[in-house]
Amino acid sequence: MGSDVLPCYVACDVSLSMADHIDELNHGLREFRGAVHADASIADRVLCSLVGFGDKPYVVHGLYLTGEVTDLPAPGPCAGTNFGPLFPFLRDVIEEDVRLLATHRVRVLRPMVFFLSDGQPTDPVTWPAAFAALTDPRWRLRPRVVTFGVGDADEDALGRIGTFRTYLGRDGIRMGTALIASVMHVLSTSGPPADRTLS
């Protein structure tokens, strides 16, 4: 593992409305895996976790080197897309992951969350407060959040969540390209003294 690592969380909407997009997104993940694995300078610096969410969030797999990342699961039967429960869930997962990484004496960069959805939250009233807690400036582990909208994405909702960048598939941008570009930008701009060791 490199001397400094970037924890990257790909949080994907796996509700029924995403069924037509999962193949495309898995292709993007494979493209991302290949690009990171092919660059020896970053191959052991990017750790990636997959998180699915619909009616409730769950970890598909924990932090692995990017070359070991699996495909996204098929969408489940849930029709709801609740954004709100995802954000405190991510906060807890990030806290635990960084605690474990600290035992390896590596420099942990501020995490990045790559949020994928068709952007139609079924909890429009409650999710903003939960998201505010995830990105609270007083929390030292607050992640950079990149959003990627597929299908008929709600551009307004994704724009409110994307604190770092927002991409829309309908603009002709591929998910893999957006993920690679976001990770490379974070790695190229994350250096001391702006980012200190998180331990």
User: What is the percent of the chain where pLDDT is above 90?
Assistant: 59
How many Å apart are CA 188 and CA 60, to the nearest integer?
Answer: 28
> Does residue 183 have a pLDDT over 80?
yes
Average pLDDT, the chain: 88
How many Å apart are CA 174 and CA 108, to the nearest integer?
Answer: 28
> Does residue 69 have a pLDDT over 90?
no
Domains and their CATH numbers in the chain: 4-189 (3.40.50.410)
How many Å apart are CA 38 and CA 101, to the nearest integer?
Answer: 24
Residue 40 has a pLDDT of 87
pLDDT, one tens digit per residue, over 118-163 is 878 889 899 999 999 999 999 999 999 999 999 888 889 999 999 9
- Please check whether residue 114 is in contact with residue 148, taking contact to mean a CB–CB distance below 8 angstroms: yes
pTM for this entry: 0.91
Residue 55 CB-density burial (10 A; 0-12 exposed, 13-18 middle, 19+ buried): middle
